[in-house]
Amino acid sequence: PVEAVAGTPFALSLQGTAFRAGDRLRVASSDSPCGTDDTAQDAALARYVCGRGMTPCIASPVINGPPSAIRPDALGMLMHETWYPVSISSPGRYRLCWCVDETWNPVSLESQGRCAGGRQFAVDVGLVHVGGLNGTQSFVCQAFGTCELHVRSSLAFGLQDQILLIAQRSNFMPTRCGRGNVGVRVSLSRVDGINASADSSERSATFHLPQAGQPGDYQ
């Protein structure tokens, strides 16, 4: 499978023959087979990939778009097609489903919607394994008190790692991570170790919050 890190831009590349600009790709849940009505882009797939600081956001071409590049390999026998940038916000496994839009016009950049429905993405071309913080964790802190967050991740922690706590709603509207939200930065205080199981091993670390905010739900 393709290896990626949650929230970090990466390239999705396929190898084969007879690639064309009409090719389309969907990053679906690994629980859903390709070629069904439920074959849709997973909610964790970012529509826009944003950099840091003043770097602008870029529309991800994997959202209903053609490949960013198509090129032959070094021997000229096979071809590679690549979608970049791609970003997935939640760790886990995702299925890659492929479709060819034979009506795509690379001059007018229009098509007749050949790859519009989930059933048309019938070719299973692999998996993406996304590592990172376990997205199912929840923590309880006392309002305005100190709090320690014991966090689990499939990847190793770094000494500069931080967590940004943001309110789940701002001005009565839901918020999402990675959208320039203002919140409370929580720094890593120590790396605790590795929790091994029959299926996998997770690292654990503690992040120290000097003072929790007012009562409410945060992410």
- pLDDT over threshold 90, residue 107: no
- SS percent in the chain: helix, strand, coil, step 5: 0, 45, 55
- pLDDT over threshold 90, residue 161: no
* Phi and psi angles of residue 130, each rounded to the nearest 5 degrees, phi first: -105, 120
Nearest alpha carbon to residue 66 among 4, 30, 24, 3: 24
- pLDDT over threshold 80, residue 138: yes
The pLDDT of residue 179 is 57
Indicate the range of 31-45, 79-93, 189-203 predicted with least confidence.
189-203
3-state SS class at 140: coil
Domain parsing of the chain, residue ranges: 2-131, 147-209
Q: Which residues 6+ apart lie within 8 Å of 52 measured at CB?
A: none
The pLDDT of residue 199 is 53
